[in-house]
Amino acid sequence: MQNIAKLYVVEYSASQGCFHIHQVEDMLETNLRTFVRSTQPGYIPIAIVETHEQAGEIIETILKKLPETHPAKSKSESML
């Protein structure tokens, strides 16, 4: 079984209107710092996958299903 810390997480930031991909261990470290500082998290987890490539595919799939007016459409598609 793969170490969960090395898996990839797809996150979405409503305030920035974009997606972010990084490893679970980095997300947990950031969330712990956010908790300690009593601040609001900037990203919400959407999916956990085995590879960075799969994370990109998840984002593409999500973007195809969103309405054209969703903030993630214009910002994220320009980043892919």
Which of 78, 79, 71 minimizes the C-alpha distance to 13?
71
1 DSSP β-pair partners = none
- Given this model, what pLDDT does residue 14 score? 87
Between residues 49 and 72, the one the model is more confident about? 49
- Please give the mean pLDDT across all residues of the chain: 88
- Residue 13 sits at φ, ψ, to 5 deg, of -105, 115
C-beta separation of 19 from 77 below 8 A:
no
Its pTM stands at 0.81
* Pairwise CA distance, residues 17 & 9, whole Å: 17
Rounded Cα distance between 52 and 17, Å, is 20
